[in-house]
Amino acid sequence: MASDKPEDAPEHCPGTESELAGKADSCAGCPNQAICASTPKVVDPAIPLINERMANVKHKILVLSGKGGVGKSTFTTNLSFALSLDESVQVGVMDVDVCGPSLPRMTGLDGEQIHQSNTGWSPVYVSDNVAVMSVGFMLQNPDDAVIWRGPKKNGIIKQFLKDVDWGELDYLVVDTPPGTSDEHLSVVQYLKESGIDGAVIITTPQEMSLQDVRKEINFCRKVKIPIIGVVENMSGFVCPKCTKESAIFAPSTGGAKKMAEEMKVPFLGAIPLDPRIGKSCDYGESFLDQYPDSPAHAAYMRVIDQIKAYVA
Amino acid sequence: MADGALANVKHIVLVLSGKGGVGKSTVTTELALSLVEQGKRVGVLDVDLTGPSVPRMFGVDGAQVHQASTGWVPVYTDETKRLGIMSIGFLLQNKDDAVVWRGPKKNAMIRQFLQDVAWGDLDYLLIDTPPGTSDEHISVAEYLKEYNPDGAVIVTTPQAVSLADVRKELNFCRKVKIPILGVVENMSGFVCPHCAECSDIFSKGGGEAMATEFNVDFLGRVPIDPGLTTLIEADGGSFVDRFTQSALYPIFKKITAKVVANCGDEVIES
């Protein structure tokens, strides 16, 4: 279901935003035809400004999932830290989860505020080469709920893209909330012209997650975002005492690898559950730096290497 | 004034969390099944439009919704019709189709779900929500105002990253004046099935501490049960039948008793 075809539109409606709106053959008989034909197509003035900012960004990667709580923000944080290991690489991290902005805490930037300068908003720097932007930095009190409907959420996302002075970036990694709604449509819309390199889709092994992730894959196809691949997170837990493995989120329908095969998208790898990942997020520390011996570390790096290879 | 589809619903309980993936749908399902075990008539409304998990939880994935003169008929889990479900999952042509809707269209769907479903006489209507504090939550709060919902059960996992989002949800409830029935701390500890060592995979205790801080009831701690996924998704029979045999059932009996008491209802000792 596209977002700009009205409920009562005929089957081959070109969309209300299209240049053919009201004028295509399929518009004949549609109750909205006169409106569509007479409304001038206004280009959003923000788009050229966004394009200008994004011209300084070499690669844009979206981190998506249909499902909540699978580890999008955790993965975004670890991906960004890993990309920045080469100190000559500049990484920007944009958190468009407006209601549940987790990135400030995960990157150890809880309580920081953003500043305005004459070149725009300054993102908050974790290190010399990693900068973060999130609604989390704009709250008076971190417990304040951000109770915004879609249009207001879209507005802030537009500002993040238009007004933030990222400078020159090698990578802009965009963390998203779960679902396929306003935030996702807006990011895709605003970045249409400057282009998105691709999306990394995160899931956990069980069918309850996979069923939402298939929808997300179909969303990407519909809005024409290339899919870099699927990552299976929380894939098995190794008991620290007896070292035997248990499947906490059992892959009852074959897990992400099988789903990726069926949906014909690349499978980037599986990352096991290590309680230290969650703790690192809670304390805003880099898991990859702190625990290089964890099996999860090797798994992360294998996935991240494939992402780097894809966008290069 | 209580008119319309919800007129004969005695208690309305929302299941909320600021955070995704903490187990809202699972807790909603477990609460619903516990209530049915106590002899209550229960409806479950799934307002997570982009990620509807409820049909699969109840083993009714793929069921169709019918229209009657009184409205849309919920999907019942069995012939006794004591447990009825409504979800957008039943309305999709192909269940892998993404529902790519902006706020206004989501709001319209939620209004229909609240006004046009022929729930009939219910003791409890449980409303499962998506994570966040946005269109769906604002709309549900607005449309339910005239029906005086009993309140919200808030689900969290123990770690700080979840609690940060859930505190926002508690403040949301305060702002829109939805009473808080209590907090459930889900995925709290994992007992290794091989050696019985307990690992706090997502930390422990944060939910209870937050409930104390916000001066709301702590309803209980639910451990990670690796058998849960298999219980829900195994072939043959259904979660509905298997739930009472699961290790989580005694825990949910207690949680449900507290929710029922906080709704001013009588707890049936079974």
Residue B106: its chain A contacts at CB < 8 A?
A: 181
User: Which of A149, A214, A250 has its CB closest to that of B96?
Assistant: A214
Query: By C-alpha distance, which of B207, B163, B138, B25 is closest to A100?
Result: B163
State the smallest CA–CA distance between residue A168 and chain B in angstroms.
30
Confidence (pLDDT) at B253: 92
Confidence (pLDDT) at B36: 92
Tell me how crowded residue B79 is: count the other CB atoms within 10 A of its CB.
Answer: 6
Confidence (pLDDT) at B268: 66
Backbone torsions φ then ψ of B10, nearest 5 degrees? -75, -45
Q: Does B29 touch chain A (CB under 8 A)?
A: no
Q: Which ipTM value was assigned to this complex?
A: 0.88
Confidence (pLDDT) at B1: 35
Q: Give the list of residues 6+ apart from residue B114 with CB closer than 8 angstroms, or none.
A: B5, B6, B45, B140, B143, B144
Q: Does A75 touch chain B (CB under 8 A)?
A: no
Residue B252 · residue B34 · CB < 8 Å: yes
Q: Does A143 touch chain B (CB under 8 A)?
A: yes
Q: Does B269 touch chain A (CB under 8 A)?
A: no
Whole-structure pTM value: 0.88
Is B102 in contact with A181 (Cβ distance < 8 A)? yes
Confidence (pLDDT) at A39: 65
Measured CA to CA, the distance from residue B43 to residue B127 in angstroms comes to 8
Measured CA to CA, the distance from residue A244 to residue B262 in angstroms comes to 42
Confidence (pLDDT) at B223: 92
State the smallest CA–CA distance between residue B8 and chain A in angstroms.
30
- Locate the chain B residue with the closest alpha carbon to A216: B98
Tell me how crowded residue A11 is: count the other CB atoms within 10 A of its CB.
Answer: 6
Confidence (pLDDT) at A140: 86
State the smallest CA–CA distance between residue B267 and chain A in angstroms.
32
List, for residues A269-308, the tens digit of each pLDDT value. Answer: 999 999 899 999 999 999 999 999 888 999 999 999 999 9
Is B161 in contact with A73 (Cβ distance < 8 A)? yes
Confidence (pLDDT) at B2: 42
- Locate the chain A residue with the closest alpha carbon to B56: A208
Which residues between 161 and 190 in chain B have a beta carbon less than 8 angstroms from any beta carbon of chain A?
Answer: 161, 164-165, 167-172, 175-176, 190
A-B C-beta contacts closer than 8 Å: 214
Residue B22: its chain A contacts at CB < 8 A?
A: 68-69
Weakest mean pLDDT among A107-116, A224-233, A236-245: A236-245
Confidence (pLDDT) at B207: 94
Q: Give the list of residues 6+ apart from residue A310 with CB closer than 8 angstroms, or none.
A: A197, A198, A228, A229
Query: By C-alpha distance, which of A148, A146, A142, A157 is closest to A188?
Result: A157
Write the DSSP string, A46-107: HHHHHHHHHTTEEEEEEEE-SSTTSSHHHHHHHHHHHHTTSTT--EEEEE--SSS--HHHHT
**Phi-psi bin for A303: left (phi > 0), alpha (psi -120 to 50), beta?**
alpha
Residue B224: its chain A contacts at CB < 8 A?
A: 248
Tell me how crowded residue B3 is: count the other CB atoms within 10 A of its CB.
Answer: 8
Q: Does B156 touch chain A (CB under 8 A)?
A: no
- The pLDDT of residue A102 is above 50: yes
HSE, CB side, 13 Å, CA atoms: give it for residue B197. Answer: 14
From first to last of the 270 residues of chain B, give the pLDDT tens digit.
345 789 899 999 999 998 999 999 999 999 999 999 889 999 999 999 988 989 988 888 889 999 999 899 999 988 889 999 999 999 988 888 888 888 888 999 999 999 999 999 999 999 999 998 999 999 999 999 989 999 999 999 999 999 999 999 999 999 999 999 999 999 999 988 888 888 898 988 999 999 999 999 999 999 998 888 777 776 655 666 788 888 888 999 999 999 999 999 887 655
